[in-house]
């Protein structure tokens, strides 16, 4: 029995500004965004083909928004906004804010960092860069704010920041260019792996406070936490294969900060917590983890296999949708509550995009010192 | 530093599109699978985008899911049937499959 419903015609998704489409042939398209280009094969009607062709040409007058929305929603990749809506089944009310030194509307980034008691890092001195008013305006419905719509905008800002600021690619490329002895390379690789070890080792501690705020999403969060258990052991095995133990390695303040923020979110803002989980759980999309690739490049195959196993477990968990799933329990929220979550997300993104930049600086300084000492 | 923002046209388009109507997916499904239809063992549904994105793993790339209702169930369970997803595409439905990415930003080593 098949149910054809009128629901499928509702427009619920709009493409991000950066998203475009190109053809390979009549049924194969490439969807482009700065953070991802994905090839897609689609068996569909002429009507859908016409809309996709119009979207590829950016001929907006010929696009059927309902068909485009349906296409984007089925891709289920970070290519689109989710329009605000109200669901009578999302009944959990979340509105309590922590005692802040100043109203959330006037809170500067510096004040929020102080409130969170963050360590000094590369992300220290900056102003708010995310247009919070635009996020609020987009997600507004019935004089309140839809958490899922808000997530879809925040996710785009996070991905744009990762694309612009994150130094992971440069860090890995830099390591590959070094002509230094194996021990020095091994220590650098171990330092990179250690950041991930710290994140996984702190994971349960950092997630647990959110259980008290999770209301009817409790069992989903609990299941998610169960799925994340034991990942630190894989990373520890990788460190062991690199013949290092955690206590001798450098830990970036940004790595410390991201786990500190996650832990504090769990006791201050369940919306902020869900947005943070979305950042942590964004899939790499690649078959092989980039760090696995780097470890293989230097023939550390055992450590590489540990990293790849971690990636496979995370991919199999399908956790890229966990935040929307948790937020499906949340009722519309008020302005201050939404704004506080947006602000926290920006600070977290600053720190997340600083981890590899910090390591790159460290490695370059080490190399300079070594060269000077010769 | 450039501010992260969204363009006014998108906001307008979003507002207009939203006026097309809200959908209560879970409520709809409950209505369709209530006690009167408890005898239905398995359905294929084309599900709503919001529902889809919150329920389905990324690598299951279709809109088709199996809905199984036990004979004596007071509620229903949704089951993602990957065999059905990959092998069947009923007439009138759109089937989409995605391949490995052509390009993606490299993620920092901070996964949970």
What angle is formed at CA B30 by the lines to CA B26 and CA B36, rounded to 5 degrees?
Answer: 170
Using 70 as the pLDDT threshold, list the residues of chain B that sit under it: 1-103
Cα separation, A136 vs A35, whole angstroms: 24
**CB–CB of B56 and A76 under 8 A?**
yes
Give which of A178, A85, A151 is closest to A322, Cα–Cα.
A151
What angle is formed at CA A275 by the lines to CA A170 and CA A258, rounded to 5 degrees?
Answer: 50
What angle is formed at CA A143 by the lines to CA A85 and CA B4, rounded to 5 degrees?
Answer: 75
The token pair at A365 is 């300084």
Cα separation, A238 vs A190, whole angstroms: 8
Q: What is the ipTM score, two decimals?
A: 0.81
Helix or strand or coil: residue A217? Answer: helix
Cα separation, A11 vs B14, whole angstroms: 9
**CB–CB of B107 and A290 under 8 A?**
yes
A155: Cα within 13 Å, side-chain hemisphere = 28
Amino acid B62: pLDDT: 31
Cα separation, A26 vs A44, whole angstroms: 10
Cα separation, B59 vs A345, whole angstroms: 26
Helix/strand/coil (H/E/C) assignment for every residue in A155-202: HHHHHHHHHHHCCHHHHHHHHHHCCCCHHHHHHHHHHHHHHHHHHHHH
Burial grade of A209 (CB within 10 A; 0-12, 13-18, 19 or more): middle
Give which of A35, A137, A134, A29 is closest to A74, Cα–Cα.
A29
Q: Which residues of B touch A328 (CB under 8 A)?
A: 54
Give which of A283, A343, A332 is closest to A142, Cα–Cα.
A332
**CB–CB of A36 and B20 under 8 A?**
no
Among B53, B89, B104, the residue with its CB nearest the CB of A35 is B104
**CB–CB of B109 and A355 under 8 A?**
yes
Beta strands in A64-155 (DSSP E): 80-82, 140-141, 144-145
Instruction: Confirm if A45 and A70 have CB atoms less than 8 A apart.
Output: no
Long-range contacts of B41-46 (CB under 8 A, 24+ apart): B41/B68, B41/B69, B42/B66, B42/B67, B42/B68, B42/B69, B43/A1, B43/A2, B43/A3, B43/B67, B43/B69, B44/A1, B44/A2, B44/A3, B44/B84, B44/B90, B45/A3, B45/A5, B46/A3, B46/A4, B46/A5, B46/A8, B46/B93
| Chosen from A4, A6, A9, A11 to mutate, greatest number of chain B CBs within 10 A | A11
Cα separation, A360 vs A73, whole angstroms: 38
Q: Does B55 touch chain A (CB under 8 A)?
A: yes
Q: Does B86 touch chain A (CB under 8 A)?
A: no
A255: DSSP letter: H
Please give, rounded to a whole number of angstroms, the shortest distance from the CA of B13 to a CA of chain A: 8
Q: For A318, which residue in chain B has the nearest alpha carbon?
A: B57
Instruction: Confirm if B94 and A74 have CB atoms less than 8 A apart.
Output: yes
Using 70 as the pLDDT threshold, list the residues of chain A that sit under it: 1-11
In chain A, what is the straight-line distance between the N-terminal and C-terminal CA atoms, in Å? 77
Amino acid A180: pLDDT: 85
Amino acid B102: pLDDT: 63
Give which of A183, A15, A177, A179 is closest to A83, Cα–Cα.
A15
Please give, rounded to a whole number of angstroms, the shortest distance from the CA of A181 to a CA of chain B: 24
């Amino acid at each position: 029995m098949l149910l054809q419903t009128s629901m499928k015609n509702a427009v619920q998704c709009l493409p991000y500004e950066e998203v475009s489409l190109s053809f390979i042939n009549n049924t194969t398209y490439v969807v482009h965004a700065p953070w991802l280009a994905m090839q897609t094969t689609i068996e569909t009607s002429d009507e859908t083909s016409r809309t996709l062709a119009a979207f590829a040409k950016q001929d907006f007058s010929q696009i059927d928004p309902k068909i485009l929305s349906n296409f984007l929603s089925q891709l289920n990749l970070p290519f689109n906004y989710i329009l605000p809506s109200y669901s009578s089944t999302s009944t959990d009310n979340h509105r309590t804010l922590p005692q802040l030194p100043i109203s959330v509307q006037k809170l500067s980034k510096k004040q929020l960092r102080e409130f969170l008691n963050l360590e000094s890092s590369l992300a220290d001195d900056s102003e708010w860069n995310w247009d919070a008013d635009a996020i609020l305006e987009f997600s507004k419905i019935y004089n309140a704010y839809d958490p899922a719509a808000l997530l879809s905008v925040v996710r785009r800002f996070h991905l744009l920041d990762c694309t612009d600021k994150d130094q992971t690619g440069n860090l890995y490329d830099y390591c590959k260019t070094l002509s230094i002895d194996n021990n020095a390379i091994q220590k650098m690789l171990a330092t990179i792996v250690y950041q991930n070890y710290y994140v996984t080792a702190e994971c349960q501690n950092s997630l647990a406070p959110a259980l008290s705020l999770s209301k009817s999403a409790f069992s989903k969060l609990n299941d998610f936490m169960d799925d994340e258990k034991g990942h630190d052991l894989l990373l520890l095995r990788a460190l062991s294969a690199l013949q290092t133990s955690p206590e001798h390695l450098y830990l970036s303040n940004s790595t410390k900060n991201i786990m500190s923020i996650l832990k504090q979110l769990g006791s201050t803002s369940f919306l902020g917590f869900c947005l943070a989980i979305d950042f942590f759980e964004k899939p790499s999309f690649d078959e092989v983890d980039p760090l696995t690739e780097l470890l293989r490049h230097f023939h550390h195959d055992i450590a590489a296999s540990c990293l790849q196993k971690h990636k496979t477990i995370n991919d199999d968990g399908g956790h890229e949708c966990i935040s929307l799933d948790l937020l499906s329990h949340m009722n519309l929220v008020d302005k201050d509550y939404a704004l506080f979550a947006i602000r926290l997300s920006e600070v977290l993104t600053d720190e997340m995009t600083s981890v590899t930049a910090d390591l790159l600086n460290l490695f370059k300084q080490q190399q300079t010192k070594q060269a000077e000492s010769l | 530093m450039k501010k992260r923002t969204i363009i006014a046209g998108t906001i307008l388009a979003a507002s207009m599109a939203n006026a097309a109507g809200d959908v209560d997916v879970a409520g709809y499904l409950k209505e369709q699978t209530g006690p009167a239809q408890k005898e239905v063992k398995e359905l294929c549904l084309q599900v709503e985008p919001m529902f889809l994105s919150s329920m389905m793993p990324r690598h299951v790339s279709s809109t088709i899911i199996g809905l199984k209702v036990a004979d004596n169930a007071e509620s229903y369970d949704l089951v993602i049937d990957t065999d059905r997803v990959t092998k069947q595409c009923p007439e009138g439905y759109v089937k989409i499959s995605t391949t490995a990415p052509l390009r993606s930003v490299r993620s920092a080593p901070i996964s949970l």
